Structure 1
Amino acid sequence: MRILGMISGTSHDGIDVALVDFDLRDGVLDGRVGYTTSTPYSPELRARLVEALPPAETTLAEVCVLDTLIGQSFAEAAATAIEQAGPVDLIVSHGQTVFHWVEGAHAHGTLQLGQPAWIAERTGAPVLSDVRIRDITAGGHGAPLVSVLDALLLAGHQGSAAALNLGGIANMTVVRGPDGLVAYDIGPANALVDAVVSSGKLSERGFDEDGAIAASGRVDQRLLDVLLDEPYYLLPAPKSTGKELFHLAYVEEAIARAGHRPGDADLVATLTELTVRAVARDVLASGVDLLVVSGGGCRNPVIMKGLRDALPGVTVALSDDYGAPADDKEAIAFALIGWCTAHGLPGTVPAGTGARASRILGTLTPGAGPLVLPAPIADPPRSLTLGR
């Protein structure tokens, strides 16, 4: 079954796309990753999106406009993928998260924009969307949904392993055998650095490319101590967070508490070190011997060196080594969720999200013809292999 997975993550910089051809044989799901790409949002759309995100106030009119513009952007990205790689049986669109409603230790709702009907109309293919909310209705956090991919991908590891995704937010899945999984959002990965770099116009690309700014600065220990004293880090897993908490105003408040403002490069270095410290602390506490890293943050040599230095007893590898290109892993994960839903299988791991039980995910929008799904499968796959 050929499935196109699509997502714009918490860095809200564009749309990641992965086309995966799945085939189940003897309990092993084989995924051939045939096409991947990333399509940036137009500068105008990204600026409009940033202006509407928390803690900014917005209007329902602006939400409606963004829902359409993002949906049209996803539709164009999907159409381009199909033109270049051939037809697909299903498209899975995560859309763009604009608000993740968490109070205390509980998630109450989540909102992703990008109207799927635009994608179905443009491509003629059925579209699965709204993939997070069903888990939340079952008491989960709706995140990190990538844990269903991590559980299958790391199933063959003999020791204890963890998969770390460094997007806007850092999330981790710890796998200790078939029944020993836990997953949760650790805290900010690139979110705070991106906010500072964008607002200060420190880079034309809006992020710290290759960690160059961080490498040119020095860590401000006083500010770092303030940032590490964040109550969210003490909450037990599973837990989830987002830019509702970790945004530019959050940095400004931390600077005020620290009592002084470091220079731009020192500020970026300090926020980068925050990611390293928060992640390394949780990885060490998990007791894993293998850490498989993906997401944009794994292309930052300052973060990766910091993690390797802080985790001397842990093998730190990229998800590329396991068949999942580090920049495309989340899109692949949503393609996998689509395969599960199409076959009547849950797309969540309760221990990974905190839900009462696993649930079949998403809402289906028909394409140009009748909605036809494969025959249901009784037993989920035991493991997953990915390759080109």
Structure 2
Amino acid sequence: MTYTTRMEPWRVIGLLSGTSMDGVDVAAAEFRLRGHEIEMLPLGYRSLPYPEALHRELVSLTRSEKSDASVWCHLEAETSRIFAEAALRGVEELAAGRADLVGSLGQTVCHTTVRGRTTGTLQLGGPSRVAEATGLPVLSDPRGRDVAAGGQGAPLAPVLDLLWLGGATPPPDDALSRGAVLALNLGGIANITVVDEREPVAYDTGPGNALIDAAAELVGAESGRDTDGALAARGQVRPDLLAALLADDYFRTPPPKSTDKERFGARYLRDALTGLPPVPEHDLLATVTEFTVRTVAEACAAHAAGLVVASGGGVANPVLFGGLRRELGRHGARLCTSGRYGIPPEAKEAYLAALLGFLGPHGIAGNVASCTGAAGPRVLGSITPGRWPLRPPTPVEAPVTALRIPEPGAFPAADREGACASSTWR
């Protein structure tokens, strides 16, 4: 892995839309290299919802086996427009009008894995429109290079998790935990990273919020969501349905592995319900929520978890989060959110996109090969030029071993203003 010797901070905008396909998350951060350590100073986070019509189109077309090419072109154009708007707002509202680069994970619409090998991954949210709107270079498609190297293109969170939690000093209560430290993301799909310097492990455990959303949509819940777990809280877990949901071979497949909500979505739920006595709507939501709880907790327990640091939209669901605390506690593990370690739970993946944007131009690998299954570490992403000629920093060989989040104000304001006003890419 390599990095530049320049100490000026880079101000990077991070973009992505998760598997819920409900909007674009944008974060801004400043990065500075100090020896073997990256400092990341979070500058702020926003979420820009998709127009309802676009959300419906994305959800319905990704479930359809027949899609006209012109429809996909329309979706790409509309999604790119929202990504460009989100990036521009990130620059103006979060980065005080000055940034060096945009890192984008895009909107994943297809991620196909056959017999443990990812055969393709497709993201919308084209970087050209983002570059045109902001004038900044854009690093996009970080998954593609990992897939080309024989990896699954997911999860990419380990590069953040390992640098961030591997060297973090835990608060006093967490320091008492015995066992492994795990990072958990509760998005549409849940994934974990086992923070282990010898042989890191990371993979998708199965559904996070995806099946809960599918159940909420099936029963006609408002906005297709079980807001705050209100429906699940009123129901009882149905053992017969839970057993049917748990029967999938995915949960017995060893890592590295990845999946998507097309596997664990509405069709999966309908198949599990086939042949069972009617399931009341509250019981349905209670059961699918418990399904996520069990699969996540069992995956964490398999790695002797002592501390689990959670992020993602599922953290805001008290039934899901409370169930995880119960089950993890039964296995002897503590549960907290990423906010305890300096990253807001809802913003972590957007900061991951920003970090990947920073790593690529500096020649630092963005994948962890033992987690994705790639042939080795790879510098990820493709660069779309901005308004000025590309002048990436000159990389030099040196290891990067930690990411530290300094206290607010750790970067002097004058230093930040000057460095970002004269972009390293101009």
TM-score bucket (shorter structure): over 0.9
**Deviation at 1:376?**
1.1
State the one-letter code of the partner of 1:223. L
| Counterpart Cα distance in 2 of 1:348 and 1:26 | 21
**Deviation at 1:124?**
0.5
Kept in 2, the 8 Å contact 1:54–1:243? The answer is no
Kept in 1, the 8 Å contact 2:111–2:120? The answer is yes
Gaps of 5+ in 2: 1-9, 169-174, 409-426
Kept in 1, the 8 Å contact 2:137–2:386? The answer is yes
Aligned with 1:126 (options 137, 140, 147) = 137
Kept in 2, the 8 Å contact 1:101–1:108? The answer is yes
Aligned residues: 385
Q: What's 2:226 paired with? A: 208
Aligned with 1:337 (options 348, 351, 356) = 356
User: What TM-score do the two structures reach when normalised by structure 1?
Assistant: 0.96
Kept in 2, the 8 Å contact 1:345–1:377? The answer is no
Kept in 2, the 8 Å contact 1:107–1:140? The answer is yes
Q: Alpha carbons of 1:228 and 1:55: their partners in 2 closer, same or farther (altered >3 Å)?
A: farther
SS of the aligned residue for 1:145 comes to coil
Tell me whether 1:104 sits opposite 2:122 in the alignment.
Answer: no
Aligned with 1:25 (options 29, 34, 37) = 34
Aligned with 1:365 (options 384, 394, 414) = 384
Aligned with 2:21 (options 12, 16, 19) = 12
Kept in 1, the 8 Å contact 2:14–2:352? The answer is yes
Kept in 2, the 8 Å contact 1:55–1:244? The answer is no
SS of the aligned residue for 2:380 comes to coil
User: What TM-score do the two structures reach when normalised by structure 2?
Assistant: 0.88
State the one-letter code of the partner of 2:269. V
Kept in 2, the 8 Å contact 1:120–1:366? The answer is yes
Q: What's 1:150 paired with? A: 161
Deviates more, 1:67-76 or 1:304-313: 304-313
SS of the aligned residue for 1:154 comes to helix
State the one-letter code of the partner of 1:139. G
**Deviation at 1:171?**
0.4
Tell me whether 1:217 sits opposite 2:226 in the alignment.
Answer: no
| Counterpart Cα distance in 2 of 1:338 and 1:285 | 33
Q: What's 1:188 paired with? A: 207
| Counterpart Cα distance in 1 of 2:278 and 2:129 | 45
Tell me whether 1:165 sits opposite 2:185 in the alignment.
Answer: yes
Structure 1 residue ranges (4+ consecutive) displaced by more than 2 angstroms after TM superposition:
54-57, 156-159, 198-201
| Counterpart Cα distance in 1 of 2:396 and 2:75 | 37
Aligned with 2:245 (options 227, 240, 250) = 227
Q: What's 2:258 paired with? A: 240
Q: What RMSD in Å do the two structures reach over aligned CA positions?
A: 1.3
Q: Alpha carbons of 1:347 and 1:269: their partners in 2 closer, same or farther (altered >3 Å)?
A: same
| Counterpart Cα distance in 1 of 2:120 and 2:398 | 30
SS of the aligned residue for 2:390 comes to coil
Aligned with 2:337 (options 315, 318, 343) = 318
Q: Alpha carbons of 1:154 and 1:357: their partners in 2 closer, same or farther (altered >3 Å)?
A: same
State the one-letter code of the partner of 1:226. A
State the one-letter code of the partner of 2:272. A
Tell me whether 1:252 sits opposite 2:270 in the alignment.
Answer: yes
Structure whose alpha-carbon radius of gyration is higher: 2
Aligned with 1:305 (options 322, 330, 341) = 322
Q: What's 1:44 paired with? A: 53
**Deviation at 1:199?**
4.1
Q: How does 1:44-123 map to 2 (within 5 A)?
A: 44-84=53-93, 85=95, 86-123=97-134
| Counterpart Cα distance in 1 of 2:391 and 2:53 | 38
Gaps of 5+ in 1: none
Kept in 2, the 8 Å contact 1:66–1:114? The answer is no
Deviates more, 1:233-242 or 1:78-87: 78-87
State the one-letter code of the partner of 1:155. G
Residue deviations 1:181-221 (CA, integer Å, cap 9, x gap): 100000001001112223433123x3212111110111111
SS of the aligned residue for 1:68 comes to helix
SS of the aligned residue for 1:338 comes to helix
State the one-letter code of the partner of 2:368. V
